[in-house]
Chains A and B, each alone.
Chain A
Amino acid sequence: MIQAWLTQLSQVALVLGLAPLLSGVTRKIRARLLRRRGPSVVQPYRDLLKLIRKETVVAENASWLFRAAPYAIFATTWVAATLVPTFATGLTLSGAADLIVIVALLGTARFLLALAGLDVGTSFGGIGSSREMMFASLAEPAMLMAVFTLSLFAGSTQLSSISTFMLGPNAGLSISIALALIALVIVTIGENARIPVDNPATHLELTMVHEAMILEYSGRHLAVIEAAASLKLLLYLSLIACVFVPWGTAASGAGALAYAIGLGAYAAKLAAFAFFLVLFETAVAKMRVFRVPEFLGVALMLGLLGTILLFVSRVPR
């Protein structure tokens, strides 16, 4: 019992600790691919600390919502990230929520973020919120359709169950799963403000989305929001890892060795995904805003196609 809770707590801490590192790693890889030296991989930690120590400037007409939102966004994202199996499945709290809940929790965070973007009443905040919600209106269903495919495939919406099923003998190769994977990847790119959709590194560009929303934030609020953003990226990569490459993940209560293996495997998967993600990012160019819906629409269509193909190809259980 206590051990289970400890494992759970370690997961809670792990995602929190690892998230900035993941950002650091992606930036580093990106820099290298662009033949720059790039900052150290721990630079995000330094940034966060720096921001936290800075004076916070809040717009005069900002309401309580503006100040409370970062914490709520961070907390929801954190909870969602905690619920995704990383190195082990079947953790204590994982029964509290399934994949749909995780998608919805991210939705809550996005909702609050969009509101925060509107709170000060600037044109940039509005642009960001408006476009974010437009992207989400396609990305979220796309993700849900991918979730549907997986759930129907595995007969469950619980991530642990899906992961276990994927490891098991019943999971074969299926075109639906491939479609779901592609859809999920596209959603990951779209939702985390990665390159063809958004550029996390720019300001003052009319096409920016995420950065526009948090333009008014500074100091500790900004730190919390940045942390939440990196947690979100971690969450998505963990999700893909847990479902599509479940190998090495420890079963619940499997013992310290298994956990250690799981941890190692998890780290390796993350690193690999980060590499591929950045590779893709460096290879493509930023899209115009109104091309993005088409991009995300593809994900939605693929997700739906995956689900329907599943209905056609599989005997219902």
Chain B
Amino acid sequence: MSLASPYCLSQLAASGVGLLFALAPIGIFVARRPLGSRLTYAACMLICSGLAGVALIALLTPGPRIASIEIPVGLPLGRTLLGFDPLSAAFAVIINVTSAIISGYAIGYGAHAREPLRIVPFYPAFIAGMNLVLLAQDAFSFLVGWEFMSLASWALVVSEHNSAENRRAALVYLIMATGGALALLLAFGLLAGPEGGYAFDQIRRAASSGVGSIVMILALVGAGSKAGLVPLHAWLPLAHPAAPSHVSALMSGVMTKVAVYGFVRLVFDLSGPPLWWWSIPVLLAAGITALLGVLYALMEHDLKRLLAYHTVENIGIIFIGLGLSLAFKAGGLGSAAALALVAAIFHVFNHSLFKSLLFLGSGAVLNATGERDMEHMGGLIHRMPVTAVAFLAGCIAISALPPFNGFVSEWLTFQAILLSPQLPQWVPRLLVPAIGATLACSAALAAACFVKAFGMTFLGRPRSSVATTAHETDRWSRAAMLVFAALCLLAGVLPGFVIDSISPVTQMVVGSRLTPQSALPWFRIIPINSARSAYDGLLLFVMILVATAATALIVRRFASHALRRSPAWDCGFRDASPATQYTAGSFAQPIRRVFGSVVFRAREHVTMPKPGDTAVAKLRLEFHDTVWEALYLPVIHVFEATTDRLNKLQFLTIRNYLTLVFSALVLLLIIVGTLR
């Protein structure tokens, strides 16, 4: 049996996951010493690389796809099946590549942890849980992995438990994660049917679209809450930043992708042929998510929270692709569905790269300055040059600007949107352009947001003393960030290879695939046909390089070489303090005025003293988290009110309790008497 046989691959992958699980208890014992934690992270890196390799082989090997191995542990009344099919293999490549690099970063970064015992053991468990979700070919192991992933990441979020804010974040996270998992549990219950066929192939065989609709809604709630779809995103901007930065990178860059996988698995693979209206809730939620996510991010001055909100936006973009694919699939438009799905999964890949990169960068900054608030940063480009370069690459990539990778997936999504006139139903046909508009808006706002993020953090003058004394981060961290930056560029200029790797997934899930792309001249990508659209990242990149070089050469040849350093001119206002710079708040002010007054009910209250009065002028900003206030607070209030009311039952007299028993007795007697 060859090493590349699916069966052997599944075994390899399963043992990799087993190793990761085993690493967790080992971590408890070795975490006390810095070397121990470094070795643990290194082991994670190696295992993840191995898993990524295995998954890549599984993805690219043609032939019989699903070769699950059965392991004797797990559900007592069912079978535990593990293995890769193209869908899970593709996601496994993505998450393991990212996890491996993040683990590399952690080799250096993890040494800064104050209480490594609260982090190191959970880290491999977290990755293992995510891998288990992907490997699972039955509902039980899927959910075990899912919950394990939530649980391990919860432990990591609460690792800095001394701050009340973090504790609250962890709590909200755990509760919402469990709520989501329960929704998935219901979905699987429905799919498995009364006979309890929990294995995925059993479910596929029994698939009927009667239950599919409910499963779709449940999956949207369950996976959507994990991924961060508005309005189920509330935990995400709390929890992701609360964790140590390498874990934030894992949560934002990797875990949300597992949630996307869950959605694809449930809706595209398991719940049978889609109905036309399924795409509508998905698209609506996705559009709102994309737009609200970026607006929230713009209002945020905490670097990590900004990034977390941006994850929400990107999840919206991914779900736009998924929704489109669902619409096309339901409309019988195979190749369009394939295009949309490719766009979505490509964006999954991209987002995992650049969001991890950005979180790692924020970790480096946090470590250097001890600050997450951008209002206290500035000018770090001088003191952390490598981090700055990598972070800049991430910013450009996430703002969907060519020639980086973020643009390619967004471009593909736009191409898919432009195919929407072919849809048979009116509702999605009218909805899709509007979604396109929100996508365009969110892309533009994202650029604004990352100008702010990079500009306030790395550019300008230092706004606090910690920013002046910051230092560059360690070697491992720098290397990891540079690798991410390089991958972002590489995926942007050579997208054909990525698309071709995703094709087996579309073949499996929507039954169609794009034409092979990687063999086209100049590594161009032509998703539909060349007269319609094409993109050539490599050529574009070369052109930009050549043009830049040419300009630089010409200028160098002809221009004066004289260069003088002098204080900033600033229209003559010399020697102003760094406090006169634009801050994150002032940068976002125009956008807040334009969008925020509606979305966040943002109001500015200015108290201006009379002329001659020496009192301080004050600007107070009123700001509402509309989603939280409209959706979550009422639930919390109802819950509190109910418990208040029920709690009186704890303080009754014995006689009252006897009355309860007595009434129950009389009631049951009456029931029995009337039922006969």
Contacts and interface: CB of A to CB of B under 8 A. Distances in A.
A52 B421 contact: no
A216 B459 contact: no
B515 interface: no
Given A63-B459, A124-B570, A216-B570, A110 B447 contact: yes
Interface string B582-594: 1000111111011
B411 A104 contact: yes
A58 B433 contact: no
B587 A59 contact: no
B565 A121 contact: no
A121 B547 contact: no
A148 B437 CA distance: 9
A56 interface: yes
Contacts of B246: none
Nearest to A96: B536
Contacts of A181: none
Interface of B: 378-379, 381-382, 388, 392, 396, 399-402, 407, 411, 414-415, 417-418, 420-423, 429-430, 433-434, 436-437, 440-441, 443-445, 447-448, 450-452, 454-456, 459-461, 522, 524, 530-536, 539-540, 543-545, 547-548, 550-552, 555, 558-560, 562-571, 573, 576, 578, 580-582, 586-591, 593-594
Interface centre among B436, B459, B544, B547 (most CB of A within 10 A): B459
A107 interface: yes
B531 A144 contact: no
Interface string A124-140: 11110111011011111
B400 A104 contact: yes
B402 A101 contact: yes
B547 A114 contact: no
Contact-residue bracket for chain A? 35 or more
B634 to A, nearest CB: 32
Contacts of A127: 582
Contacts of A82: 543
A169 B423 CA distance: 26
Given A96-B524, A105-B402, A220-B560, A129 B566 contact: no
Given A76-B547, A316-B429, 7 more contacts: A63-B382, A75-B547, A76-B544, A100-B533, A119-B381, A123-B573, A126-B581
Given A126-B581, A158-B534, A311-B429, A137 B437 contact: no
Chain A, interface SS category: helix
Given A136-B447, A289-B590, A53 B559 contact: yes
A147 to B, nearest CB: 9
Given A134-B594, A136-B447, A145 B555 contact: no
Nearest to B449: A133
A316 B421 contact: yes
A52 to B, nearest CB: 4
Interface string A55-71: 11111111111000001
A65 B581 contact: no
A122 to B, nearest CB: 4
23 contacts: A52-B555, A52-B559, A53-B559, A93-B543, A96-B534, A96-B543, A100-B414, A101-B535, A104-B400, A107-B443, A108-B396, A115-B459, A118-B460, A121-B459, A121-B578, A122-B573, A129-B451, A134-B448, A141-B437, A141-B444, A148-B417, A311-B430, A314-B421
